[in-house]
């Protein structure tokens, strides 16, 4: 062995017990879970300027579409780990690989043509390819057997679907996809394509995967500003959600049956969000329609920029910008990930998964 490499190898091996205590975490999907990959791309789908990050620990924009922490960050807190770094970050090397990686990219969907207006984003097929690349780096670092164990014991989160509606099917009147498919047929197509993505994740070694449904996209400030007559959630978009989510759950259950194990867990993010939209006072929100940061009706027009209106108290707003929750809303959502009953997490929540793992079940 090269004498110069010996200290590095020793330091990595010393970190392995600590890394196994806090499992690795891998994240795939769109802007709800992107923590900075798009910062490294020439794209308009970015959150790398103030006031994004105003409540982040550094008070700086990081590429997260939030005033502070996003859903993966808060899950990492529960895992007792630091956030999984963006895959494109130059800091993701050496011992940092043991934490996991975030492959998500704002703007992407289940379909490759979703988000084409953003030009340069990491489509889901490329995210999976990066996962393969990551595993090659991991094997070079800790060896094949330990790398396979780290991946199989890791927690995986995947969030897709919303953009396939708001940034594809309903993006413009008479969109290509809406001319090609009636909505029920489009939903069936999306679910069949999503099954291929999840099957590929399983082939790549993922064994504990949380699959989120689509949230109430008809209720986000952007859609209220563009389509709502009286502030009510947009019926056509809610129809899409109500078609998509049950079929997603059925597909995931079928996939688990085919595998013979509960590899995939579904998260009912529609209900998690709708709880506080329907009963804001119960959750301490005073506003569940207007975005904290933006402009125009409901602060739902355009991007959140330094020139936007910004609310003084983010904790009483459910939405940070035209599409994305505040950190406080994200914490409510992750609370259900961790502790929700089977109406929220099926067949089990994350606390149950972690407890079973500790007991070796």
Cβ neighbours of residue 283 closer than 8 Å, sequence gap 6 or more: 275, 276, 332
Residue 199 annotated in active site: no
Q: 278 vs 232, 270, 275, 281, 339, CA distance in Å?
A: 11, 12, 5, 9, 20
Decide: 102 and 83 in contact? Cβ < 8 Å: yes
Choose, from 30, 66, 73, 324, the residue flagged as catalytic: 324
- Which tokens in the block code for residue 337? 């990930």
Checking phi first, is residue 296 left (phi over 0); if not, alpha (psi -120 to 50) or beta? left
Choose, from 34, 73, 164, 321, the residue flagged as catalytic: 321
Cβ neighbours of residue 328 closer than 8 Å, sequence gap 6 or more: 284, 314, 315, 317
Residue 76 annotated in active site: no
Give the separation between CA 73 and CA 56, rounded to whole angstroms: 11
What share of residues in the chain are helix, strand, coil (percent, to 5)? 50, 10, 40
Give the separation between CA 96 and CA 11, rounded to whole angstroms: 12
Choose, from 30, 31, 66, 308, the residue flagged as catalytic: 31
> Is the dihedral angle over the CA atoms 332, 83, 30, 243 positive or is it negative?
negative
Residue 31 annotated in active site: yes
Give the separation between CA 354 and CA 361, rounded to whole angstroms: 10
Q: Catalytic positions, please? A: 31, 321, 324
């Amino acid at each position: 062995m090269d004498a110069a490499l010996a200290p590095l190898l020793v330091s990595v091996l010393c970190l392995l017990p600590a890394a196994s205590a806090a499992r690795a975490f891998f994240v795939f999907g769109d802007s709800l879970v992107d923590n900075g990959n798009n910062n490294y791309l020439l794209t308009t789908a970015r959150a790398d300027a103030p006031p994004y990050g105003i409540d982040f620990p550094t008070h700086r924009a990081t590429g997260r579409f939030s005033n502070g922490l996003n859903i993966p960050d808060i899950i990492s807190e529960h895992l007792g780990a630091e956030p999984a770094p963006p895959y494109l970050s130059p800091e993701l090397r050496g011992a940092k690989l043991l934490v996991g990686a975030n492959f998500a990219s704002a703007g992407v969907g289940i379909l490759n043509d979703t988000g084409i207006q953003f030009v340069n984003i990491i489509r889901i097929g490329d995210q999976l390819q990066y996962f393969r690349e990551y595993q090659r780096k991991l094997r070079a670092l800790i060896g094949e057997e330990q790398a396979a164990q780290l991946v199989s014991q890791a927690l995986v989160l995947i969030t897709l679907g919303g953009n396939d509606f708001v940034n594809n099917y309903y993006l413009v009147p008479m969109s290509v996809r809406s001319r090609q498919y009636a909505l029920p047929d489009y939903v069936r197509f999306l679910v069949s394509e999503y099954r291929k993505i999840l099957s590929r994740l399983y082939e790549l070694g993922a064994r504990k995967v949380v699959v989120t449904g689509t949230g109430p996209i008809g209720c986000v400030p952007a859609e209220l500003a563009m389509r709502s007559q009286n502030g009510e959630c947009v019926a056509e978009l809610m129809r899409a959600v109500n078609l998509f989510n049950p079929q997603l759950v059925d597909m995931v259950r079928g996939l688990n049956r085919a595998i013979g194990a509960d590899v995939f867990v579904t998260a009912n993010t529609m209900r998690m969000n709708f709880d506080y939209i329907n009963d804001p006072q119960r959750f301490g929100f005073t506003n569940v329609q207007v975005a904290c940061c933006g402009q125009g009706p409901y602060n739902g027009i355009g991007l959140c920029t330094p020139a936007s209106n910004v609310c003084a108290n983010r904790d009483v707003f459910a939405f940070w910008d035209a599409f994305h929750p505040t950190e406080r809303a994200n914490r409510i959502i992750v609370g259900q990930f961790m502790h929700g009953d089977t109406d929220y997490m099926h067949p089990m929540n994350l606390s149950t998964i972690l407890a079973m793992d500790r007991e070796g079940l």
